[in-house]
A and B are shown apart, each in its own frame.
Chain A
Amino acid sequence: MQVSDEQRVYARWLDWTARIGVAVLAGAFLVYAFGFVEPQIALERLPGLWSLPLERYLELTGAPTGWQWLHFLDKGEYLCLIGVGLLGLATLVCYLRIGILLLRQRERLQAAIVALQILVLLAAAANLFTAGH
């Protein structure tokens, strides 16, 4: 059986980043749902809001978009987004790690694919595709 070096490294990094993301999300959710940290939107209001279209929900709640939620980390629901964000960054971190490895191994085509993928993920994470909407 052949498992390449970059595949082994990728597996190890993904394992840890995903575990951390899920653990943070679960922990933050308990803090949020049990009211240890005050939410921005009262939990009792949620049933009247989650059936609305996204645009209407944003209008009524003033919920942040893009990376603005980072300014609301003292609110329960946005603490949870740290876990979600970590899950979203897990793949990017792993690609960055194997990109270095492939460059060292002079695997130019594979390294180029990895570089392009990093650009796509960075652009998505940086909100380049929805900014200004």
Chain B
Amino acid sequence: MKSVSIRAAVLVFGLWLAAPAEAATAEAGDVAWWLWPLGLFAFSFLLGIVAVVAGVGGGVLFVPLVGGFFPFHIDFVRGAGLLLALSGALSATPALLRNGLASLRLAMPLALVGSITSIGGALIGFALPTNVVQTALGLTILAIAALMWIAGRSDHPQVPAQDPLGAAFRMHGIYHDPAAGRDVEWRVHRTPAGLVAFAGIGVLAGMFGLGAGWANIPVLNLLMGAPLKLSVGTSAFLLTVIDTSAAWIYIHRGAVLPMLVAPTIVGVMLGAKIGARLLRIAPARQVRRLVLTLLLVAGVRAVLKGLGIWN
């Protein structure tokens, strides 16, 4: 029964995307105003389910899809996407910290660098012309899809020796792995490279309002050698700090429209709760393929929109 509901949800999601974008834009002024926030709520609800099952943050799907297929300007969509990623991370992080699945000491130096550059990214995003932002967003989304396709993951990467900077920041500890039923000792290496990577992640998060879980996890896990579960949890904490800094830029610029932000946040949070319940029985591989397909469609759509080929 639950599997049928998932397939139905995926089908509705696909049909939504199949609706011509021109129709959405042309009729935006003709339909009752409340249909759009309601549609956004329904879309965000489905997105919340899909994002949890596929193990991605909502922002990376929300910005290109809503920017490409809803009548809202990308400036407001980026603001809503950032707040969506922020609120999701804010609700998930307390439990992760309490259970030791996120590490403050690992995250704080990286968050500091990322938050500074995310402010820069947000300012750059507002300084660039809309078509340039759209095109760059599309190319970034296509690169993310490629990264998700090719990047591997390592449950417990080998870290032969901790680097001096990581040791100074005390980026090491022990966490309990419930699946393995044992405590896992961890430490990281390549801390300077990690700091540089988070500087880049901050720029992209701020510029496009994407959140940054898609990049945080590979950097923490594959580059710095943190265990996968700790990387996932710490990534959520990092989002709360990096996205907060950029969110203030959007708030002060007036790019936060409550009529977009509130239905989005509530929809995704409710959807994520359903997604968490479906996690055990959902066909994760198929959903992940769906997400990759959606990213490809959204990326191509954003590039074409940015280049003025498909408005």
Q: Mark A92-118, 1 if CB is under 8 A from B, else 0.
A: 100000100000000001100110110
Are A54 and B176 also in contact (CB < 8 A) when A22-B265, A47-B71 are?
Answer: no
Tell me whether B174 and A124 are in contact (CB under 8 A): no
Tell me whether A117 and B254 are in contact (CB under 8 A): no
Cβ of B198 to closest chain A Cβ, rounded Å = 13
Report if B220 contacts A (CB, 8 A): no
Specify which of B36, B73, B97, B246 is in contact with A52 (CB 8 Å cutoff): B73
Specify which of B175, B254, B258 is in contact with A65 (CB 8 Å cutoff): B254
Cβ of A33 to closest chain B Cβ, rounded Å = 7
Tell me whether B259 and A121 are in contact (CB under 8 A): no
Cβ of B29 to closest chain A Cβ, rounded Å = 5
Cβ of A47 to closest chain B Cβ, rounded Å = 5
Task: List, in ascending order, chain B residues with CB within 8 A of A46's CB.
Answer: 33, 36, 259
Specify which of B36, B130, B253 is in contact with A133 (CB 8 Å cutoff): B253
Are A80 and B258 also in contact (CB < 8 A) when A7-B97, A11-B97, A18-B87 are?
Answer: yes
Task: List, in ascending order, chain A residues with CB within 8 A of B176's CB.
Answer: 1
Are A130 and B100 also in contact (CB < 8 A) when A54-B126, A124-B119 are?
Answer: no
Tell me whether A14 and B94 are in contact (CB under 8 A): yes
- A116 CA to B115 CA, complexed, in Å: 11
Interface of A, secondary structure class, is helix
- A131 CA to B247 CA, complexed, in Å: 15
Total count of chain B residues near the partner, CB < 8 A: 70
- A32 CA to B269 CA, complexed, in Å: 20
- A44 CA to B240 CA, complexed, in Å: 34
Task: List, in ascending order, chain B residues with CB within 8 A of A129's CB.
Answer: 119, 123, 249, 252
Tell me whether B262 and A29 are in contact (CB under 8 A): yes
For chain B residues 254-311, which have a beta carbon within 8 Å of chain A? 254-263, 265-266, 269
Query: Taking CB as reference atom, which chain A residue is nearest B176?
Result: A1
Tell me whether B109 and A25 are in contact (CB under 8 A): no
Specify which of A2, A28, A92, A120 is in contact with B100 (CB 8 Å cutoff): A2
Are A92 and B244 also in contact (CB < 8 A) when A47-B28, A87-B90, A113-B112 are?
Answer: yes
Report if A73 contacts B (CB, 8 A): no
Tell me whether A116 and B256 are in contact (CB under 8 A): no
Task: List, in ascending order, chain A residues with CB within 8 A of B258's CB.
Answer: 28-29, 32, 76-77, 80-81, 84
Q: Give 24 A-B contacts (CB < 8 Å), ordered by A residue.
A: A1-B183, A4-B104, A7-B100, A22-B90, A22-B91, A28-B262, A29-B258, A29-B262, A47-B29, A47-B31, A50-B71, A50-B76, A52-B73, A54-B75, A63-B254, A66-B252, A80-B262, A88-B251, A91-B244, A92-B244, A98-B104, A117-B111, A120-B119, A130-B252
Report B's interface with A, CB cutoff 8 A.
25, 28-29, 31, 33-34, 36-37, 71-73, 75-76, 83, 86-87, 90-91, 93-95, 97-100, 103-105, 108-109, 111-112, 115-116, 119, 123, 126, 130, 168-170, 173-176, 183, 240-241, 244-249, 251-263, 265-266, 269
